[in-house]
């Protein structure tokens, strides 16, 4: 059986690391259940969590390779991966929905209590009131797809997923359809629509290809899995009930799932 290009790269990188020929690559940034936010380094199945937290008490994060959004105590910050702050916004929103794609101008946050879409235009955060009266559910994902449109994924009461396009800057709904196959609190990254399927992570590509990866041998409660972007190609998945964390590498053809270690606190001397 031919190995994927990802695993060939991972094996070569791991071998080079053992020979001391490469520095440890940075894979992304992850937020843990205690609210601490850590850099993740390593290769494939050999993941290393930096003991030093770049932030604490975070309510949510979303990271691309070079920058990310972090929400803590009602403040949303656009930050670099080393934790340095580029700009911040006083949202007073306890649980915003955050997303940033590979370019900084895609940074967006949904503020449900205010019915506002917050987006970064390269100079400042811009507020856009959204007519969400027809959403009929909870927003689980938001993305600014262009300067003229945003897309929302909404979990309906029957567990189906509404895919809603909204015009910018008017904030009016352009179209509504159902994401085929997806259930519950859906997420999207690198063209994959992702959702919890029992004790598994399920993903579907635009061409209809679907993959399901078992995460637990025991049943998981509905809406148990949380998903946050670690970087352009890495996704952090965590189980609220078991406290387990996974890092998922999203290639164009496959979901590659690895157990993510728990941070080890730094020893203060």
Where exactly are the structural domains of the chain? 5-259
> Cα separation of 39 and 53, whole Å?
8
Burial of 199 (0-12, 13-18, 19+ CB in 10 A): middle
Q: Quick one: CA dihedral 74, 80, 82, 84, positive or negative? A: negative
pLDDT at residue 198 greater than cutoff 90:
yes
Instruction: Please tell me the predicted confidence (pLDDT) of residue 10.
Output: 55
pLDDT at residue 45 greater than cutoff 90:
no
DSSP 60: E
Query: Closest Cα to residue 138, out of 101, 97, 104, 167?
Result: 97
Model-wide pTM > 0.75: yes
Instruction: Please tell me the predicted confidence (pLDDT) of residue 2.
Output: 41
Instruction: Please tell me the predicted confidence (pLDDT) of residue 269.
Output: 43
Pick the CATH number of 5-259 from 3.40.50.720, 2.120.10.30, 3.30.200.20, 3.40.630.30: 2.120.10.30
Instruction: Please tell me the predicted confidence (pLDDT) of residue 5.
Output: 52
pLDDT digits (tens, 9 = 90+) for 98-147: 999 987 789 999 999 999 999 999 999 999 999 999 999 999 999 999 98
pLDDT digits (tens, 9 = 90+) for 9-40: 555 555 544 444 457 899 999 999 999 999 99
Burial of 119 (0-12, 13-18, 19+ CB in 10 A): buried
């Amino acid at each position: 059986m031919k190995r994927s290009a990802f695993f060939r790269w991972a094996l070569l990188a791991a071998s080079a690391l053992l020979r001391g020929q490469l520095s440890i690559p940075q894979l992304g940034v992850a937020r843990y259940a205690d609210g601490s936010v850590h850099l993740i380094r390593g290769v494939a199945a050999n993941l290393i969590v930096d003991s030093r937290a770049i932030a604490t008490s975070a309510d949510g994060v979303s990271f691309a390779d070079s920058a990310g959004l972090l929400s803590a105590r009602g403040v949303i910050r656009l930050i670099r991966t080393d934790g340095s702050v580029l700009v911040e916004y006083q949202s007073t929103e306890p649980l915003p929905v955050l997303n940033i794609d590979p370019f900084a101008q895609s940074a967006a946050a949904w503020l449900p209590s205010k019915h506002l879409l917050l987006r970064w235009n390269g100079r400042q955060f811009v507020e856009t009131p959204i007519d969400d009266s027809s959403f009929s559910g909870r927003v689980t994902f938001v993305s600014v797809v262009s300067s003229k449109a945003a897309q929302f994924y909404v979990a309906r009461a029957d567990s189906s997923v509404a895919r809603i396009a909204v015009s910018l800057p008017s904030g009016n709904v352009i179209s509504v359809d159902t994401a085929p196959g997806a259930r519950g609190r859906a997420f999207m990254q690198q063209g994959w629509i992702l959702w919890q399927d029992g004790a598994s992570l399920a993903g579907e590509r635009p061409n209809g290809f679907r993959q399901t990866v078992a995460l637990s041998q025991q049943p998981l409660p509905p809406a148990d899995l949380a998903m946050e972007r670690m970087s352009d190609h890495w996704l952090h998945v965590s189980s609220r009930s078991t406290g387990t964390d996974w890092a998922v590498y999203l290639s164009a053809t496959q979901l590659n799932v690895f157990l993510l270690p728990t941070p080890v606190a730094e020893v203060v001397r």
